[in-house]
Structure formats: C-alpha cells, structure tokens
Structure 1
C-alpha cells in the first residue's frame, strides 16, 4: 500500500511538471532523484507513455554521487576554522598498518590552542560516513580528527606539549576495529540489497561508528520481513565464508571498466588512481575507509530495524560483532520474559501478543465510549442548573472527545457557556450572545500559543 501511495505521489509530481512543459534533460532527472527520490527509470516509464522520449545517461548514478560529494564538501566548511596552508601533507599511517596502535610523531603546529598538526598520524579522520579515531596525543585526549586537503587535523583537549616536540600517540584500536566491522558490513549489506531488491538499489548515504551503523538505499517501499530476512541471510553467508577483503589502487578508467560505475557507492573518489575495496568475488567499491582483512572478522551481522527517511529512501540500521550478539541476546531475553509471563510456547508469542493487543483495543474503545457518555451526562445535568458552567472533568484526556460531545449537543448548548477543565488542557465553548469563550477560558488559563480552538495552547493558572 505504501509503495502504491509513494508511486502515486511520484506520478503526481511528474504530471505537474508535464503540464508546466518542463524540459526533460539530465539536470531535471538529477533534481527529481535528489529532491524526491524518483529514479529515472520511473520518469522514462511515465513520460514515454505520453509520447515523450527520455534518455537516461549511462553514468547517471555516478553523477548522483558527484552531486552528493559536492554537498558533503560544502557541509565540511567547518574545517575552514583553521588555516593549514603552511603545513606539508600528513603521512597517513593507518593505511600502512591497520593495527598500529602506538606511534611517535613530531608536532608541526598547534592552532587555536586545540588543533594539532603532526608530521604523520595513525588517527583516521572522519570521512565517507566513517567516524574518526579517538585516543591520546602526549597524554591529551583526541576528540575529533578531520582532513583539510592532505593535512590531517587533530582536535585535542588541552594540549600538554609544544610545537617541535616528538611525542607518543595512542589510538583506541578496540574502538577502531568495531568501526571497521561496521564499515565492511555496510558494503556487504549494500550488495545484498541489490541482489534481493534489484539493480535500482543505490547507496544514498551511510554512517558507521563503534556502536552501530546505518545504510540508506534507494528503494520505493519499505522492506518486507521476507526481504529483510534474505538480505541478512546473504550478508551472514558472506561473513561465514571468510572472504578476503583486498585493498588496492587502480587507474580510474581501468576500475570503471572492470567494475562499472557501481564502485562509486560511497561518493566519487578524486584523482586518476582510486582506492578499491574488494570483497573477493562479491563486491567492489571505491572507498577510502578502513576495513577488515577478512569478512569472518565481522563475526555476525544483525539488522535491527528499517525506516523510510524520505520518499524513495530506506534506512537499514544494523550492528555487528559483539554489539550484534548483545542485541540478539537482548531480544532473546525479552522473548523469554514474555514466554514466562504469558505461560506460552515461544512460537505462540506472536499470536498471543496479537490477541492481547486486540483485547486492549476493544477495552480502550469501551472505555472511551463510557467516558463520552459520562461527559454528555455531566454537561446535560450542568446546563439545567446554569447558563454558564465550569466543569472539572479530569477523566478526559482527549480534546477530540470534548469537541465531539460539544458538536453532538449543539442544540442543547444554545444560550449556554461551558468551560471544561480536563486532565491536561482547558477548553471553552460559548453559544451565548455577548459572552466570549476565550474570555471565560482566560479566567482559569493563560495563553501559551494558538487560540481557544487549540486548547493545548493554554495552561492552568496557578
């Protein structure tokens, strides 16, 4: 149903553009995809039914990634807070040795009393959705690492060293390894999604830290349980197979010829030679991140949830390794507690939960009906005694119920004024000439926002 609704919204957008006589070019296709998540294949399908030819560039998705890359660079404007133009290129030790946890480096500069430039570093900077390393430089905590051009900047809490000193640095390797597992798993899940859902799937974004990760993909509907199960199964089969993860450099033309433009899942890599991360026989992407050497290092992948983040974009949240095992154990614990509480077999938990939910809905409906009847009774008995009534009805939690009762008793309330003091709000109605409901409500409530039709815009005076 959601897929149908999403497709319907997309078609409405396209038909409006048709009426406006929009020019169907590459720029237009990119705008539709980026702003509304409408893939060019759907545009071609809809427009060509109306006799309008649509040409999709063979490198369309490469251009999408270039667009995202430009946006990412713009967001990284914060890095201009320091001028590193006088510093030489930082030697990235993390590419030379993934497990280098301690190293000595020379302090080339300390900017604004907290931004440290070293001649070489094993601290990985934030990039491509992978968060930076943490640790210590000369006993001072590293809280952020980012790259400006080829210079790596370390944000450090209260540096306790001077420029020109050679100091000992320590990277939190345990944290890094957890992030590496999530990054390699991101590549695996992305490829698994393509295998299960189809070639229209493309990475829209990702994020990886030591706790968990998420992958955003282009897809027009929420994933079914069956699809999720297949994706997770394929991903964990890759983990169990223990496939080697190879990292090497290729000339851009050679890489594109060998693997196609799908290598640009994480954004377009700069330069003539690009860094390829290949999961042997399964996936290859241009990527500057840090990865496991073998998929078996990931241990296990657990997709914990999915959500639609915008039209045409689905997010998969997942955990790996120890965190995934903890997640599985946590879920097992909940299931066991439910089994013991309800005294049912594990396989009977879903139907038992459904039965309880249906019972809860029935009781809630009955409860609301009783409250509504009681409210009507209170109103009718009160207006017999006075034209202006102040009713304490703190058993009412829904403004909608008050409005419904007021509308149903419209005839009986002619010439009457009622102020309702409900559980969390006040509401007033006046059917009496020259008497303002707002003024009556203001005797007891002070305005926060809105008007007297937005009762939650008032709070009770002390």
Structure 2
C-alpha cells in the first residue's frame, strides 16, 4: 500500500475513472440548485439525480466526481465516534444505463488492489452482498477470485428509499487488523459488515435495477444504473493508518491550530477534550465551506444549521480553555488544507472570517442568556424541591442555545441534580425521526421518463443570428405519444432548427408563431424547454393542422424578445456593478429575466443602504450611456476562465462555452441573448431591494419602456400629492412635507405633555387611595392613560415617593387591557413578587405576562375583566 496524502488519493480516484472513459464533474456547491427537496447536498449522487431520473441526458453516460457534502442528522455523534462528520467528501462513479455489475465490481477491485493505484493487499479486503443477488456474488468469487470466506451475505444490502429506483448493493470492507479489534473474538458482530472497528467499510456499490412502485412491487428499470460512494476521509484513514478520521491530514492540521489557540490543552491527552478538538475541527470545515458557497447563519433552514454548528463549536472551545471568539482564526488553515481541489475557502477567506467572527461575537454577547436560563431552571427545580433536570429542558438548552448535554450535566451535578437522560433521548429520537422522515422525501428520485429519452432527432438553435427561419417539423408529441399529424389542441414539437430560445440561465423562453407554406399561422408557441438530450421542445397551441416532415416558418415575437434581451444584458451590468459596490463576495444566487423586468438574487452578509443602491444604479446607467459594444465568442472553458469570465450561479458548463463581453468590463459565461450595444437598453432603474432568506437578497429592476412607465407613475403620484397639499408645482412637495412633519412632531409633543399632565392628576387621586391587607399596604386602580409606557412612568413616581408596598394599575386602550404590578424592595423580602402577582390577575383579562420581582406587566384581550383583576389583588395578598 502506498503512502499517500488525501489530495493524492482524491486525484488518483478521478484519474483512474477518467482512464476508464468517465467524464469528471466538478464538485457542486453545498447549496442545492433547482432541488427544493434538499437542505444541503448530502451525497455524491445528489448532484447527478437529474441523470438518473431522466430529466437530463448526460453527454457521457459515465461520470465520476469528488463531491463535498453535509449531513447533520447525527450531529451528536460527531467527535465521539471515529468517523461521524457533518462535512465529508464522497468519491463516486456513476453509470447511467451504460455498464453494470461486472464492470463496476472490476473497476473497484482494480482501483483498490492494483499497484498502479491504491495497492491494498487483496487479503485485507472483504465484501458483503445481498443474498438474492447471485450475480454479484458470482462475479466476486469467479471473476475477481475472492475467497468464499471473504464474501458475506447480508439482508440489509438493498438500497431502497421508497418509490423510485432501487436495487441490491455490495459493500467493500478493509480489515485493519487485530490492533483495531474492539470486540471479543466470539462476539457475533466481529465480522465484515458487523458493528466493529476492525472491519471498516470503505466503498458501497449500488446496482440500481428496479423501480419500487407505490404498491410496493418491484419492476425492472428500462436502463440499469450504477451509483457508488467511497468516503475520502475513511479510505485516507486506512491508507495513513490512523485510529480515526481525525488523525488524517484532512483534520490534524486544524487540530494543531486549535492547540495553538488553546495554549493549554493538547490533543491526545484526555478523551473528553479530544472530543472537543474533533467537534471544532469538523464544524469549522462545514462552516467555512458552507459560507464560501453562499449560506449564512440565521434562525431558519440551513442558516439555523450553521448557527447551531458555530455555537456548538464555541461551547466546546470553552472546554479547551478558549473563552473568546476563535473559530474565524481557523478559516485559513481549513482553506490551506483543502486548497488543492477546493480553492473557494482560500479565495473568500476574508469574507468567511468576517461572517464567522461577527456571528461568534453575537453568540458570546448572548451566551449568558443560555446560562441564565439554566440558572433559573436550577433555581426553580430547587425551589420545588426537585432533584432532577427534565429531558425536555435539557433538549431545549441543547437545541436552541447550542449547550452540549455534557455541559448541562456537569453544571447540574455540581448543583446536586440528576439528569433525565431517558427524557432527553426521547426528545432526540423524535428529532432523528423527523430528520429521517425528511430524508426519505429529500433523497427520493423520480422514475425515469422513457418517452423523451427515446428522442433521437437533432435540433439546432439559430436564434443568436436570426428570429425567423424555415425548418421541417422533426417530431410531434401529444399526450405522451409520438404522432404524425394533428388538427388542434396542445402539443410538443421539435424542429430541425429553431430561432426560439429555450428557458435557461434565468432567461425565459421566447414565444411566437409557426406559419405554414400558405402564410397562415397554424400554431402559437407558448413556451420552449430543453428535452433530456438537449433538443428544443416547443409547447404549442395548434390553430390549424401540423404535419410531421412538413416545412414551416418559425417566427419569434420580436418586440417581446428585444425587451427580454435588454433586461438580460442589464442583469450582467448589475452583477458587475454589485460586485464593485459590495465586494467580490456578493455572489449571484439566481436570476429571472422576462419582458417586464429583471430580478437578481445575490448573497450578502448585511443590509444594503440606499447609497449603495444608488451607486449601483449610477454605474449601470453610466455603462449604458457610454454605448459599449456587447460581443459574444465561443471558446473552451479554460480560455474563458483565463479571460476572467464569471460563471453564473448553478450553471453547468461543457468544454465549449459562450462568453458575453461588455467592453472588457463585464465578462460572463452565458448562453442567453443580449443586445449588441449597451445604449440599446435605454435606461435602468432599481425598483426594489429586499431580503428573501438567510443571507440572500433580491433586486428588482426595469429598463427601457418599463423604466419610463415607472418614472411616469412616480410623477403621477407626486402630482396627486401636490394636489392634496394644494401646491402648484411638484418640486415643492418635499419642502411642504417636511414642514408638515415638523408641525406633527410639535403637536405630538404637546399631546404627550397634556397626557402626562392628565396622568399625573389621576395619579394624585389614585395614590391617596391606599388599602391594607394584614400589614401590607397596596394601591389597585384603573386609570385612563394611553399606553403601558405611561403606566410605567406612574410606577416610577410611586417608587420614588415610597407610597405603598404594592402597586397595581390597569388601563384600557383600543379594546385591550394593560396591567402593571410593582412591589417595594422590603415587600419582596417577604416573598411577594410582582411577577407572581401579575400571573395571578392576568387571566381575569384573558391575558398573560411576567417580569421581575419588583415590576411586571401583562396584556389581555378582555378589558371588561379589569375590575375582577383588581379585586383579585386583595384575595391574592390575603393568601
């Protein structure tokens, strides 16, 4: 076996399968594109689902990749086991209806055992097979030559996640030897495929050959597929002979950096602190790569996952004597460790550091909140003479605030409490079940659609140079059936060549008409999509007959097309302007270009100011006014990247690409349509900017005629406002509005003063009405003030004058009740608390509330219950 680095293993895998005729697909972003079923890319196969389900037919039916992935369903096991990670790399080779079991098994064996490649000792390898898969077992035994005692039949070796493709699989295990054996020799799990540390699964080959139907029956797939996955971290741990994945060169440099930051604790000295080292090393990798790919910490979705990972890592940092923000200092080593194949972290290091550091600071500012909640929980249980912290409370601290369970346990035990492990596990199990339910839906694939995959006609796009052409009708489809002739209805058609653009890259499809040889419109084109093999599939409404093989004139709606291309080129200008104003880390996260407007989504950490929007708008209009030529060239991907071309979010590019160049200022890879000169756009106007998700913002803008209409509408609105203000000119509206605003503020100030004076007069009367219960003096009254703020002002006066032991005030406003309670310090010492009192009386007004021992407040939707609430004060104090 060779002495290899992780980078060498990854490249060797890709080189091997390239030599076997596979196309190498680059690792996709961790954020799924056009797949709402996935929160993260969670496997190598997730990025090639479109090939398996028939949505897209790949140029090459043999594909291999090294794909970064994230899974967080077993986050509590990270650091405690040898191989659980949130972010990992999956090496995979895929066959879409090409080779099957025989080739897949021989490929795997050659890569693992050949001296030219990994060079494992064949005697160290074991395999598991599905008992009914006699063919796989025969190949391993008869063709590969594996001994019978190295082939284990396991019933679970069947890949099935519900309706869709499924099939048997075969797993390959490496025997790491007796030194890794954590079980007794006679233990029933001591075998390849059992739960043990000696036999390590390194590769899984899935033979997707059945369609699992909704009625739980299985039928053969029309084309059989191969889906394999080999965890890079696992195989590297074998090659580098490390006890866990964390001692490999993928993690150890990060751990060493953590040691330097700690300055006190070293890895390998203590089992518990080793867990913390591993958790931090794992979580910072996931954080750095996810943020570099455009995800940002937040309270929902994938942003919540990042926030939880960061807080969990920071809490473990405290166990290593690190009591300040530190994760951001690890971004550089993460980038350096992975830079050979994944340069994105190093390229965006400063931005990733900024995001993590900001989030860490925010966490350290609020961490005391979690500790305070735990302290309150302990005090509450102690007050109720309980000796146990309930599982639901532990889970809330763990899930909401990122408190590790062991930290809660440590603090609780120091305070003399037990921990409800069983209750916590029930909560965790419920969460795992929710994750499993979600995963079963997330990972499911659609059944292959054979009709469109059967299409073998060619379809050539000529719309870059003309919007009208003649072409024979190559294919006619209606109701999922190929037909020769149609007299009406809706259909899908393919022509040998077409000027109609198919919806791609954010640009909507062209529409137009199909004209027969007599010059009559025989069909209207309503949409155009690409078929799985790339043909232009036109959706049409047939007005007259269509005949396969007949020549027709295809004519694009020119006016609509021109409005679309103005918006598309403006989108490119906006993209460049946005990066100039906000920085290179602001990346496109989707776009829409249609005749009416353009929409541009982008990742950004923070708000966008009006000044920044105006600067972007100014830059775009300057480029329009400079009348810059827009040129397009077709070249290879390498040359395009050397030109500095930006790639659009989520797009896949072949070897030949189209580059749109705006005077060497904006250079992007784009297959869409564009104006010939920026002056054709006319004018550009940003209509709105908003946040649409965690770290993702959206700009809507208009150009040309739509921009003029926007300006005209704004002018009409100003004229209406001028009429309301009785002004002769619209340029006087701003000055007049400012004057009215100042007048309004002055009136509001006077109103506040009058309200305060009225409230004080009421207070003089209320404060004289002191009642007594036993030795406690109290005031309980309803007064007429405008809001809770004035109740608090009166409570401040009461406190300063030490008028009574207890104060209860109520007011009604807008059909709702407001209650306030206050208790003097001496009375608190007697056990009477404002928070307890408010909870006792608030139900009378159908409300609830709370607060401190000295002051509390509540709101309710039943103001008619105020008298009963005030009466309850007396009863409560008597008790």
Same fold (TM over 0.5): yes
Which of the residues 83, 88, 95 maps onto 2:464?
Answer: 95
Aligned match of 1:180 in 543, 565, 573? 565
Aligned to 2:574: 189
Is residue 23 from structure 1 mapped to residue 406 from structure 2 by the alignment? no
Residues 49, 333 of structure 1: CA spacing in aligned structure 2 closer, same or farther, 3 A cutoff? same
**2:20 is matched with which residue?**
none
> 2:534 maps to which residue?
150
**Residues 250/115 of structure 1: CA separation in 2 closer, same or farther (3 Å cut):** same
Matched, 1:60 2:344: yes
For the aligned residues, what is the CA RMSD? 4.6
Displacement, 1:290? 0.6
1:54 counterpart SS class: helix
Cα deviation digits, residues 100-131 of structure 1 (max 9, x gap): 24644424222426211221111111100111
Which secondary structure does the structure 1 equivalent of 2:476 belong to? strand
Cα distance change of structure 1 residues 240 and 20 upon mapping to structure 2, 3 Å threshold:
same
Asked if the contact 2:459/2:495 (under 8 Å) is kept, the reply is: yes
Corresponding residue number in structure 1 for 2:599: 214
Aligned residue number for residue 199 of structure 2: none
Query: What is residue 589 of structure 2 aligned with on the other side?
Result: 204
2:468–2:553: 8 Å Cα contact kept in structure 1? Answer: no
For the 8 Å contact 2:561–2:595, the answer to whether it is kept is: yes
Shift in Å at residue 340 of structure 1?
Answer: 3.0
**1:456 maps to which residue?**
none
Distance across 2 between alignment mates of 1:79 and 1:213: 34
Residues in 2 aligned to 1:127 and 1:327: alpha-carbon distance in whole angstroms? 27
Structure 2 unaligned blocks of 5 or more: 1-275, 298-302, 311-324, 349-442, 480-489, 515-520, 760-782, 788-811, 823-836, 848-860, 869-879
Structure 2: how far apart are the matches of 1:139 and 1:76?
A: 38
The answer to which of 341-350 and 311-320 deviates more is 341-350
My pick for the range that moved more, 153-162 or 290-299, is: 153-162
Instruction: State the Cα distance separating 1:312 from its structure 2 match.
Output: 2.2
2: CA distance, partners of 1:320 / 1:251: 32
| Greater shift in the superposed pair: 267-276 or 182-191 | 267-276
Match of 2:624 among 233, 239, 245: 239
Give the deviation of 1:277 after TM superposition: 0.4
Q: Is the 8 A contact 1:145 1:154 kept in 2?
A: yes
List runs of 5+ in structure 1 lacking aligned partners. Answer: 1-16, 65-73, 377-394, 433-462
Equivalent-residue separation in structure 2 for 1:173 and 1:132 (angstroms): 13
Q: 2:476 aligns with which of 102, 106, 109?
A: 109
Q: Does 1:121 align with 2:506?
A: no
CA 1:294–1:47: 2 relative to 1, 3 Å: same
Q: Do the aligned partners of residues 104 and 343 (structure 1) sit closer, same or farther apart at CA in structure 2, a change above 3 Å counting?
A: same
Residues 1:156 and 1:269: Cα distance change in structure 2 (over 3 Å): same
Deviations 1:302-359 (A, max 9, x none): 0011001123222111000100111011112212322332245144266257558858
Which structure is richer in relative contact order (CA contacts within 8 A, separation 6 or more)? 1
2-structure distance, mates of 1:375, 1:211: 48
**8 Å contact kept, 2:682–2:704:** yes
CA distance in 2, matches of 1:53, 1:26: 10
Give the C-alpha shift of residue 205 in structure 1.
Answer: 1.3
Mapping of residues 221-300 of structure 1, within 5 Å: 221-259=606-644, 263-300=646-683
Cα gap change, 1:224/1:80 in structure 2, threshold over 3 Å: closer, same or farther?
A: farther
SS in 1 for 2:503: coil
Q: Deviations over 1:81-116 (max 9, x none)?
A: 95143232211011232xx24644424222426211
Structure 1 segment 337-416 matched on structure 2, within 5 A: 337-343=720-726, 345-348=732-735, 351-352=738-739, 354-355=741-742, 373=784, 401-402=816-817, 404=818
1:166 is aligned to 551
Q: Is the CA contact (8 Å cut-off) linking 1:202 and 1:218 kept in structure 2?
A: yes
Residues 190 and 364 of structure 1, relative CA distance in 2, 3 Å threshold: farther
8 A contact 1:269–1:286 mirrored in 2: no
The alpha-carbon deviation at position 363 of structure 1 amounts to 11
Matches of 2:703 and 2:601, distance apart in 1 = 17
1:402-452 deviation line (CA, Å, top 9, x unaligned): 4x36999x99x97x97899xxxx99997999xxxxxxxxxxxxxxxxxxxx
Q: Return the alpha-carbon distance in structure 2 between the equivalents of residues 234 and 256 of structure 1.
A: 24
Q: CA deviation at 1:20?
A: 3.7
Query: 1:213 and 1:253 mapped to 2: Cα distance?
Result: 30
For the pair shown, which has the larger CA radius of gyration, 1 or 2?
A: 2
Asked whether the 8 Å contact 2:513–2:556 carries over to 1, the reply is yes
Aligned residues between the structures: 374
SS at match of 1:83: helix
What's the CA shift for 1:142? 1.9
Alpha-carbon distance between aligned partners in 2 of 1:172 and 1:271, rounded to the nearest angstrom: 30
2:452 alignment counterpart: 83
1:279 and 1:78 mapped to 2: Cα distance?
A: 43
Counterpart of 1:451? none
Q: Which string of whole-angstrom CA distances, capped at 9 and with x for unpartnered residues, describes residues 247-293 of structure 1?
A: 1112111111221xx51134444221211000013110000111111
TM-score by length of 2: 0.37
**SS, match of residue 572 in structure 2:** helix
Residue 228 of structure 1 deviates from its aligned partner by 1.1
Q: 2:714 aligns with which of 331, 338, 341?
A: 331
Return the offset for 1:298: 0.3
Distance change in 2, residues 1:63/1:95 (3 Å): farther
Partners of 1:312 and 1:192 lie apart in 2 by 19
Tell me, yes or no, if the aligned pair for 1:102 and 1:171 is still in contact at 8 Å: no
Classify 1:52/1:267 alpha carbon distance in 2 versus 1 (closer, same or farther; 3 Å).
Answer: closer
The 8 Å contact of residues 248 and 276 in structure 1, kept in 2 or not, is answered as: yes
Secondary structure of 1:114 counterpart: strand
Q: 1:37 aligns with which of 287, 291, 296?
A: 296
The verdict on how the C-alpha distance between 1:212 and 1:407 changes in structure 2, with shifts beyond 3 A counting, is farther
Identify the residue that residue 5 of structure 2 maps to in structure 1.
none
* SS of 2:504 mapped into structure 1: coil
Tell whether the 8 Å contact from 2:630 to 2:661 is kept in structure 1 after alignment: yes
1:364 to 1:186, Cα distance in 2 relative to 1, 3 A: farther
> Partners of 1:291 and 1:54 in 2: how far apart?
40
- Alignment TM-score, normalising by the size of structure 1: 0.67
CA–CA separation in structure 2 for the residues paired with 1:110 and 1:51:
54
